[in-house]
Amino acid sequence: MLKSKTFVKKTRSGGVMKIVREHYLRDDIWCGSEACTICKQESTVLEKDACSDSTICPYPHYLIPDTNVVLHQIDVLEDPVIRNVIILQTVLQEVRHRSAPIYKRLKDIIHEKEKHFYTFTNEHHRDTFIEREPGESANDRNDRAIRTSADWYGQHLKTAGPDGLKVVLLTNDQGNKQKAEESGLLVHRFEEYIKSLIAHPELVDRLALSNDDKNEITSSKVLFPEHLPLSRIQAGIKAGSFLQGTFRASRDNYLEATVFIQGESEDGTEVLIQGLQNLNRAVHQDVVALQLLPRNQWVAPSSVVLQDEGAAKDDNGDEEDEGKVLISTAETARKPTGKVVGIIKRNWRPFCGMLNVSQIKESTRHLFTPADRRIPRIRIETRQASTLAGQRIMVAIDGWPKDSRYPNGHFVRSLGNAGEKDTEQEVLLLEHDVPHQAFSQAVLSYLPKMPWAITPEDMEKREDLRNLTVCSVDPPGCTDIDDALHCRELENGNLEVGVHIADVSHFIRPGNALDREAANRGTTVYLCGKRIDMVPELLSSNLCSLQSTVDRLAFSCIWEMTHEAEILKTRFTKSVINSKASLTYAEAQMRIDDTTKNDSITKNLRGLNKLAKILKRRRIEKGALTLSSLEVRFHMDSETHDPIDLQTKELQETNSMVEEFMLLANISVAQKIYDEFSECALLRKHPAPPPSNYDILMKAAKSKHVDIHTDSAKALADSLDVARVDGFPYFNTLLRILATRCMMQAVYFCSGMDSDFHHYGLASPIYTHFTSPIRRYADIIVHRLLAVAIGADSTYPDLMDKQKQSALCNNLNYRHKMAQYAQRSSVAFHTQLFFKNRGILNEEGFVLFVRKNAIIVLIPKFGLEGTVFFDSKDKTGPKLVFDEEGPTLMVEQHTFHIFDKVKVTISLDDTNIQHQKIRMSLIHPVIPGVSVSASDIEPQTKKPRLDH
């Protein structure tokens, strides 16, 4: 049967078009129920015995949710308890139209067999298709279609199925429900139904708040200005009166945010937003429209650290002071300031965090504090507050009405008890968007079949370097060895040096599931005591890993050098190697130092070491920077995996030996692939920081009467080298730490999309990553490019497409950044664990930064940074005078400068389990009323024995 669907559409050019689609109705669409005796279906989805323990529907039944129920309550629908659901095509189409992510989740549920979700194509069914009536809105028509289908199902099951099998329509729409009741359908509000599942009270918490519920919660007082409708925002942006950008909340101050405007100018501008009203319910990462304030209302970013600590019911509490905080001072420091007028795209995701249990005992409404400080607290409703307290949970935001201080949300799932290592690890992986699920079957199917061996065909195409004395040097416990080295004297007296890199691109072929997964993950993430692999373990720790005494495929970069490390010849080749030894840095160092050893491996190492020193010296002469950041390493207890000691990483000569050759290989490869593919070479650059970045460094150095020149990398390196202060040996390291913070992020880019290739930190005109293909995807691409360049492999279209290449670079840069953050958080968490076990410690440290109301102190011994606050909310703080020029902070009589030596007590503040943090309080200098006396409990004197 043929029907036609007609609708009118506006075309892009402003015209109006009538569109007619043919629409065929069929009589062979089956109901999908196992109980049905009429339909000639081959397989069924809906169970015959569809009982749930609902008290209002004690009979077996199928559920038919309407569109809004699916859109808002997908979290509940995902629960395994909800089964035997009929998803109508009308609903599916509407969901797809309204929200792509929810549509995807719905599709996932439908595909899951255990859920028994059936899609009924009611729009093409002869009996359930309806046409829109005159005067009926599209929504009303869809509601009617849903009711018609529910009715059809009811009748159908009555005649075709066993007695008592019914369908229940779930809707939250009052009008729809009433009409359904009038036509004799079984209908319930979704909340009603979920609440009737008495065996599963936890589901109630996952209900998203519907509109009328919200009204009860919040006062009628309007706290925020209305958001403008999208049409006006678009017109405003077109006219230039509004700006569009990504909202980035400040980590330190919940009343402040910046919006990056992607303007026509390349760099993009940054607009400051201050105050609750101006932030206007924007959440971190939303795309917002904003209006610039008149110039006389511009302010400077405040240096106050402010955390939202309000109590649970402070809806009408302290907004007086929140509204007009911070009238800023210095005219010069003022930045363009604006206010948010509308939201273009929300970027809400489920957030990890913890529950702030309400003080009122019976209350079911609680505030949820996300782990990410940039996310505002979220109000949720739950009856299991007592169970959830102390657990890490995930919460999704449902909406943020203009009369509510906090957004409303609902509980999604629990991750486990706070403070437990697994829970915390899960949290930080989720928060940093690190893909950490197990590899899917599709991905694993592309792994080579075991047992794997090098085939004669492989040998034919590759150079056999198994006779060379190759060895690898890595940190202890490393299983993914991706580089190995060799060095030998040639007959002509020159040296041959080879860097051999695991040939990952041999195993990962472009475009397959394995490749796509690796490209998405971008990098292996190293956390304390855990590694999240980019490629499956079989490759990372076995087939690709250049273990000793086994034959492995490699991609080699071989130079012929003079003894003065002048490169005479460079060549690249795919090869087969057999590593003679895998050493740790310390082992390698010992071999070099031990004069009695004279085996070939040791000679090899000595040769390499000698060359590396020359290379390093030459690099530093060219202006490469030696920067410093304190890296911490934990000694883990072998059984509990708790950290039992912590020390800053020590660097050995051999570290820098390996590094030197890796740099050399990277630079050689970068040059080669750029020469070959000037448009699509994947390179890495490190832009020179803008001069203003160095302000803090210059000011800090000046306070110790040291001059730092920042005109060029070379000048900076030189001035850092000579910067010393008598009687303050740690000064130089501190300066280097500060200098590191001034730097820009190094990024991957596609050579066809950029013109500035310079690597500032390494003082190299061109650079890329070639040496770690097991843990970085960028290296895999570089391998492929190089393989094409030397004719060892074939190319494929995406490799030569600079747009795609550029998109890939963006993902890689994002993943690298996130991996770094995740790593830092992991260290921070383990530091907390460490201090939890240690009790209170007194340590010496240095002031690293001075803020308006706090100083940030670095404890070199632990590589730990902490904040000492001088004001607190509840009591009147000491008199503080902040001088931005210094910058110095005067607390009562004492003035703090950068680099001041202070003594602090360190303890773990777990009074507030929501946010465990390291607390530092001042012991020395003694400031009455501010500093505390040194605690009596001295740290354990006897250190437990270390594992290694």
Partner 1 sequence: MATVQVCEAEKVYILHGIRDDLRVDGRGCEDYRHMEIETDVVSNTDGSAKVTLGHTAVLVGIKAEIGKPRPMVPDEGYLEFFVDCSANATPEFEGRGGEELGMELSTTLYKVFNNKHSVDLKSLCITAAEHCWVLYVDVLLLQCDGNLYDAISIAIKAALFNTKIPRVHISVDEEGGKEIELSDDPYDCMRLDVTNVPCIVTLCKVGHRHVVDATLQEKACSVASLIISVTQKGTITCVRKVGGGSLDPESIFEMTEAGKRVGKALHAPLIKLLQQEESLGKKRQKVGFLG
C-alpha to C-alpha distance for 826 and 684, rounded to whole angstroms: 26
Measured from the CB of residue 13, what is the shortest distance to partner 1 in angstroms?
9
Residue 14 as a binder of partner 1 (CB under 8 A): the answer is yes
Dihedral angle sign, alpha carbons of residues 573, 574, 575, 579: positive
- Going by their DSSP bridges, the two strands 551-561 and 643-648 should be labelled as unpaired
Cα 185 to Cα 121, 190, 277: the distances in Å are 20, 15, 47
| Amino acid identity at 942 | K
**DSSP string across 150-172:** HHHHHHHHHHHS-TT-EEEEE--
Measured from the CB of residue 399, what is the shortest distance to partner 1 in angstroms?
24
Determine contact, residues 700/738, Cβ cutoff 8 Å. yes
CB nearer partner 1, residue 138 or residue 568: 138
Q: Which of 12, 20, 449, 928 binds partner 1 (CB under 8 A)?
A: 20
Measured from the CB of residue 232, what is the shortest distance to partner 1 in angstroms?
6
CB nearer partner 1, residue 10 or residue 875: 10
CB nearer partner 1, residue 16 or residue 198: 16
Measured from the CB of residue 12, what is the shortest distance to partner 1 in angstroms?
12
Measured from the CB of residue 18, what is the shortest distance to partner 1 in angstroms?
6
Residue 12 as a binder of partner 1 (CB under 8 A): the answer is no
Q: Which residues pair with 379 in a beta bridge?
A: 367, 408
Consecutive H or E run containing 176:
helix 174-182
Determine contact, residues 688/694, Cβ cutoff 8 Å. no
Measured from the CB of residue 129, what is the shortest distance to partner 1 in angstroms?
14
Residue 8 as a binder of partner 1 (CB under 8 A): the answer is yes
Longest Cα pair distance anywhere in the chain, in angstroms?
99
Binding residues among 212-241 for partner 1 as defined by CB under 8 A: 231-232, 235, 238-239, 241
Measured from the CB of residue 78, what is the shortest distance to partner 1 in angstroms?
32
C-alpha to C-alpha distance for 869 and 855, rounded to whole angstroms: 7
Q: Which of 12, 18, 945, 948 binds partner 1 (CB under 8 A)?
A: 18
Task: Name the token pair of 537.
Answer: 């373990």
Determine contact, residues 591/601, Cβ cutoff 8 Å. yes
Measured from the CB of residue 756, what is the shortest distance to partner 1 in angstroms?
39
Measured from the CB of residue 341, what is the shortest distance to partner 1 in angstroms?
13
Measured from the CB of residue 17, what is the shortest distance to partner 1 in angstroms?
8
List, in sequence order, every beta strand (DSSP E) within 637-678. Answer: 643-648
CB nearer partner 1, residue 242 or residue 585: 242
Residue 330 as a binder of partner 1 (CB under 8 A): the answer is no
Measured from the CB of residue 4, what is the shortest distance to partner 1 in angstroms?
5
Q: Torsion angle of alpha carbons 901, 903, 907, 908, nearest 10°?
A: -20
Site size for partner 1 (CB under 8 A): 26
Measured from the CB of residue 132, what is the shortest distance to partner 1 in angstroms?
7
CB nearer partner 1, residue 17 or residue 327: 17
CB nearer partner 1, residue 228 or residue 857: 228
Residue 2 as a binder of partner 1 (CB under 8 A): the answer is no
Stretch that binds partner 1, among 14-22, 25-33, 509-517, 619-627 (CB under 8 A): 14-22
Q: Which of 4, 262, 440, 940 binds partner 1 (CB under 8 A)?
A: 4
CB nearer partner 1, residue 131 or residue 464: 131
CB nearer partner 1, residue 5 or residue 824: 5
CB nearer partner 1, residue 98 or residue 873: 98
Helix (H, G, I), strand (E, B) or coil at 454: coil
Q: Which of 7, 59, 728, 814 binds partner 1 (CB under 8 A)?
A: 7
Measured from the CB of residue 16, what is the shortest distance to partner 1 in angstroms?
6
CB nearer partner 1, residue 8 or residue 330: 8
List, in sequence order, every beta strand (DSSP E) within 613-693. Answer: 632-636, 643-648, 682-685
Q: How many CA atoms lie within 13 A of 378 on its CB side?
A: 35
Q: x/- site string to partner 1, residues 76 to 115, per CB under 8 A?
A: ----------------------------------------
Measured from the CB of residue 244, what is the shortest distance to partner 1 in angstroms?
17
CB nearer partner 1, residue 20 or residue 450: 20
Q: Which of 1, 6, 51, 155 binds partner 1 (CB under 8 A)?
A: 6
Give CA 302 to chain center in angstroms: 27
Stretch that binds partner 1, among 12-20, 447-455, 495-503, 759-767 (CB under 8 A): 12-20
CB nearer partner 1, residue 238 or residue 705: 238
Task: Name the token pair of 84.
Answer: 């035997």
Length of the chain: 948
Stretch that binds partner 1, among 8-16, 109-117, 448-456, 903-911 (CB under 8 A): 8-16
| Amino acid identity at 813 | N
Measured from the CB of residue 7, what is the shortest distance to partner 1 in angstroms?
6
Stretch that binds partner 1, among 1-9, 312-320, 486-494, 594-602 (CB under 8 A): 1-9
Residue 885, judged by CB atoms within 10 A of its CB (0-12, 13-18, 19+), counts as: exposed
CB atoms within 10 A of CB 668: 22
CB atoms within 10 A of CB 7: 11
Cα 641 to Cα 86, 326, 391, 638, 943: the distances in Å are 48, 46, 21, 6, 17
Dihedral angle sign, alpha carbons of residues 242, 248, 253, 255: positive
CB nearer partner 1, residue 17 or residue 330: 17
Residue 114, judged by CB atoms within 10 A of its CB (0-12, 13-18, 19+), counts as: exposed
Measured from the CB of residue 327, what is the shortest distance to partner 1 in angstroms?
31
Stretch that binds partner 1, among 6-14, 526-534, 624-632, 684-692 (CB under 8 A): 6-14
C-alpha to C-alpha distance for 481 and 273, rounded to whole angstroms: 48
Determine contact, residues 514/504, Cβ cutoff 8 Å. no
C-alpha to C-alpha distance for 438 and 886, rounded to whole angstroms: 51
Helix (H, G, I), strand (E, B) or coil at 644: strand
Stretch that binds partner 1, among 16-24, 563-571, 804-812, 869-877 (CB under 8 A): 16-24
Measured from the CB of residue 235, what is the shortest distance to partner 1 in angstroms?
5
Q: x/- site string to partner 1, residues 118 to 137, per CB under 8 A?
A: -------------xxxxxxx
CB nearer partner 1, residue 131 or residue 321: 131
CB nearer partner 1, residue 18 or residue 705: 18
Give CA 285 to chain center in angstroms: 12
Peptide bond before residue 773 is cis, with ω within 30 degrees of 0: no
Binding residues among 240-269 for partner 1 as defined by CB under 8 A: 241
List, in sequence order, every beta strand (DSSP E) within 653-698. Answer: 682-685
Stretch that binds partner 1, among 4-12, 339-347, 584-592, 842-850 (CB under 8 A): 4-12
CB nearer partner 1, residue 238 or residue 875: 238
CB nearer partner 1, residue 16 or residue 330: 16
Task: Name the token pair of 31.
Answer: 């109901």
Binding residues among 132-171 for partner 1 as defined by CB under 8 A: 132-138
Measured from the CB of residue 148, what is the shortest distance to partner 1 in angstroms?
17
Determine contact, residues 720/708, Cβ cutoff 8 Å. yes
Task: Name the token pair of 328.
Answer: 């800023």
Q: Which residues are within 8 A (CB) of 122 and not within 5 positions of it... i.e. 6 or more apart?
A: 88, 89, 90, 128, 129, 145, 148, 149, 152
Task: Name the token pair of 872.
Answer: 């607190």
Contact residues for partner 1, defined by CB under 8 A: 4, 6-10, 14-16, 18-20, 131-138, 231-232, 235, 238-239, 241
